[in-house]
Structure 1
Amino acid sequence: MVAELTSEKLFSILRECAGEEESVTSTQNAVDMEFTDLGYDSLALLETAARVSSEYDVDIPEEGLSEVTTPAEFLAVVNGLLKVA
């Protein structure tokens, strides 16, 4: 079992689910940017959440994502759920 979702893995999954975004050059710089500013819409976020749920065997409730606007917030939600699991 994977202990934590990293920003690198999150961006890898985002790219696989929604395509490469030219504006994302460094995951460190992009982690605090809003998904919309990075070129990802809510559908991309839902697809990414479904993929992360499957790969990490964790249930990510949709309502838990409604307030998530940045990759850092997404990581906090997912990693919080992984610690509980």
Structure 2
Amino acid sequence: MATFTQADLVRCIREAAGEDEGLDLDGDIADMTFADMGYDSVAMVEVTLLVERELGINLPEDDRTGKDATPKQFVELVNELLPASI
């Protein structure tokens, strides 16, 4: 089974919401909240929609996909929902 990684998430963040030049998305961001990284709920909706489209899954609107979630939580949720065939 393939997995969704933090690197995959970072790519989606860059594509859907952009990157603040003051933040190193390639650094240790796993436990930072998206809000602390400068991403609001609108940005997270864009990221979530991109991930859903690319992977063919539906992510719930909950604490793991919002601005107060962390990349680690987001990645764990996506991996829970990935079908074994991907």
The TM tier, using the shorter chain, reads: 0.7 to 0.9
Equivalent in the alignment of 1:61 = 60
Shift of 1:65: 3.0
Per the normalisation by structure 1, the TM-score is 0.81
Deviates more, 1:39-48 or 1:22-31: 22-31
Q: Within 5 Å, give how 1:3-82 maps onto structure 2.
A: 3-63=2-62, 65=65, 69-82=69-82
The whole-number CA distance in structure 2 between the counterparts of 1:26 and 1:61 is: 24
Shift of 1:67: 8.7
Deviation of the 1:19 alpha carbon: 1.1
**Aligned-partner residue type, residue 74 of structure 1:** F
Q: How many residues align?
A: 84
Residue 61 of structure 1, CA deviation:
1.8
Q: Distance in 1 between the 2:28 and 2:66 partners? A: 23
RMSD (Å) for aligned C-alpha atoms: 2.4
Give identity over the alignment, percent. 36
Separation in structure 1 between the aligned mates of residue 58 and residue 50 of structure 2, nearest angstrom: 11
Q: Return the alpha-carbon distance in structure 1 between the equivalents of residues 33 and 25 of structure 2.
A: 14
Cα distance, 1:66 vs. partner? 5.0
Change (3 A) 1:25 1:67: closer
Answer 1 or 2: which has greater helix percent.
Answer: 1
5+ residue gaps in structure 1?
A: none
